[in-house]
Chain A
């Protein structure tokens, strides 16, 4: 009976993994209290607002493929109020978070942590590095 229960659990896990693999989670287009931006808007913001801090929420594996110039590397797993405070002391400073693409949840996770920490001027570059590269904007390696 016990073995049968384990078999059922493993089976369910396999099915859920297979399902998750086939249908990647698409992040929502908008999040309350956070401004979603696209590549062109971000490029304009970067040129216009010198105070804008760009945070790359990917882990190192992703960042090695290339990154947006002048962006800070702070993976979402390391993002908390303390790490953010260290990087962005002022809560009203404009900040933009990005990760790999619109199927990547790291930037969303990070921006929501920032919101909880009290940051008021938050941007979320939902398309991430994939959109940046696809649009043809320069990046660093």
Chain B
């Protein structure tokens, strides 16, 4: 994967990286949204639970006060005190009082009533249907209480939950105790009304449904919120709030949608900005540099060309280094070219350069139907100079001859132009040292053979003037062989061979200039 990425362009790599970042941010947004959603739901559930707890506490307290009121009313009645010791009459009284209070409006749904004496001995009781006293621990609670006061508890009896209250009658030193138990269903119904959510209540230790709201089935997108109801630090029931989550989920999904949309927009904006900035500061300048390198690779003449890039600091440093390097390479290349194509003694082009130039000239002349002359010069008696004055003197003479060759040929070509009205390209006149005492000349755009032979004859006079060295005069006289393109040869070797033969002929015939046809038959001697 990473090796594949290495082959990508910077632009593609950057786009891939930004898209990956965008994807990561999108995933993070999804995760954050779901966490946010979960937190909202948790908060909502906690809030609902605390509301349920508070409401249940308030309603059960009201029920406790109501039961205490009923107990006190019964216990403080004159009749109650009068018949207290008569079990039968007391039971009758309880049954009448039960009939009076159990069906009243409000929270009380009385299921049993019992009376105890001040020793907690049961004096009489009355219960509805199959009910009995469910909370038998209240007497124990009253016994442990420092000052006699109302004791309450919530207990389960079969498929019902009852709220039980034990109240002291007769003040702080009670004469009797009245215990009343009430079904909790009215409390739950009131709770449901207060919190405005349908509820289902189950027993804590089994799946018995104690209370089920009639409105439960009206909720379409129901999501139960489980809650354990405590009374006096004891678990008493499992309560499920039937909450309609449709609106909440709709709102949450809408918010999540906007967040994701925002993230996508920001990612796209970030990608665009990164692409723009990197394209401007990194990719563009890098491409410019790469193009320049390709250009130099194709054409060495472009070595040394300076480029200007605007980008990051590193890119600018790279461009500066590139410019310095290409300048250095250009200098090195020029030096190498000079060394490879020039004769170090006379500073004239060497045989290799002549060959290249001759090939070029043949190609150009063939395309444009021009003719040109190749002249080969060989110094006569140069060996004697070397033998007499030494090689260093010989080298000196060769340098002087080369200088004369360059200046004379330019002048002679100028004369040729003015006399014949033919425009020669003086710049294309080419003098080279072939080696030892042998030189060559390339004369382009010559009018005819005769004019070139006469030009060479004049040239011979110029270069043959005596050279004074260490007080002595010496004359360096060359023999010149001339070959004309395309008459004497249409390719390099034939032309060269022809000029060479003409030079030998000139030397043999007695120090002068000789021209030759391509067949080497007719030689003209100047």
Q: Which residues of A contact B (CB under 8 A)?
A: 40, 43-44, 46-47, 66, 69-70, 133-141
Contacts and interface: CB of A to CB of B under 8 A. Distances in A.
Contact of A69 (B65, B73, B167, B171): B171
20 contacts: A44-B147, A47-B147, A47-B172, A70-B171, A133-B68, A136-B64, A136-B68, A136-B150, A136-B152, A137-B147, A137-B150, A137-B168, A138-B72, A138-B149, A138-B171, A138-B172, A138-B174, A139-B72, A141-B72, A141-B76
Given A40-B147, A66-B72, A133 B171 contact: no
Given A138-B170, A138-B172, A139-B72, A133 B65 contact: yes
Contacts of A66: 69, 72
Contacts of A136: 64, 68, 149-152, 167
B374 interface: no
A55 B404 CA distance: 150
Contacts, number: 50
Which one of B69, B151, B168, B171 has the highest number of Cβ atoms from chain A below 10 Å of its Cβ? B171
Contacts of B68: 133, 136
A141 B11 CA distance: 93
Contacts of A135: 149
Interface in B141-158: 147-152
A137 B151 CA distance: 10
Given A136-B152, A138-B170, 17 more contacts: A43-B172, A46-B172, A47-B172, A66-B69, A69-B171, A134-B61, A136-B64, A137-B150, A137-B168, A138-B72, A138-B148, A138-B167, A138-B168, A138-B172, A138-B174, A139-B72, A140-B171
A40 B148 CA distance: 11
Interface of B: 61, 64-65, 68-69, 72-73, 76, 147-152, 167-174
Contact of B172 (A69, A134, A141): A69
A135 B171 CA distance: 13
Given A69-B170, A69-B172, A136-B150, A141 B65 contact: no
A70 B173 CA distance: 12
B81 to A, nearest CB: 12
Contacts of B148: 137-138
A105 B147 CA distance: 28
A93 B150 CA distance: 30
- Residue of A44, A70, A135, A141 with highest tally of chain B CB at under 10 A: A141
A46 B147 CA distance: 11
A134 B65 contact: yes
Given A40-B147, A133-B65, A136-B150, A141 B73 contact: yes
A99 B174 CA distance: 23
A62 to B, nearest CB: 15
A40 B147 CA distance: 8
A40 to B, nearest CB: 7
A39 to B, nearest CB: 9
Contacts of B167: 136, 138
Most buried by B among A133, A136, A137: A136
A136 B65 CA distance: 8
Contacts of B171: 69-70, 138, 140
A136 to B, nearest CB: 3
Closest 9 CB pairs of A and B: A136-B150, A69-B171, A136-B149, A138-B168, A43-B147, A141-B76, A137-B149, A138-B171, A141-B72
A47 B76 CA distance: 20
Nearest to A139: B72
Contacts of A43: 147, 149, 172
Contacts of B150: 136-137
Nearest to B174: A138
B447 to A, nearest CB: 129
Contacts of B72: 66, 138-141
Nearest to A70: B171
Contacts of B169: 138
Nearest to B173: A47
Contacts of A133: 65, 68
A137 B172 contact: yes
A140 B147 contact: no
Nearest to B147: A43
Contacts of B61: 134
A8 B346 CA distance: 129
A46 to B, nearest CB: 6
A139 B148 CA distance: 11
A134 B61 CA distance: 8
A73 B173 CA distance: 21
Tell which of A133, A134, A138 has the most Cβ of chain B within 10 Å: A138
A86 B167 CA distance: 35
Contacts of B73: 141
A112 to B, nearest CB: 27
Contacts of A139: 72
Nearest to B166: A136
A134 B152 CA distance: 12
Contacts of B76: 140-141
Contacts of B149: 43, 135-138
A64 to B, nearest CB: 12
A66 B72 CA distance: 9
B63 to A, nearest CB: 13
B156 to A, nearest CB: 23
B41 to A, nearest CB: 37
Contacts of B147: 40, 43-44, 47, 137
Contacts of B174: 138
A40 B65 CA distance: 17
Q: Report which residue of B72, B73, B169 has the largest number of chain A beta carbons within 10 angstroms of its beta carbon.
A: B72
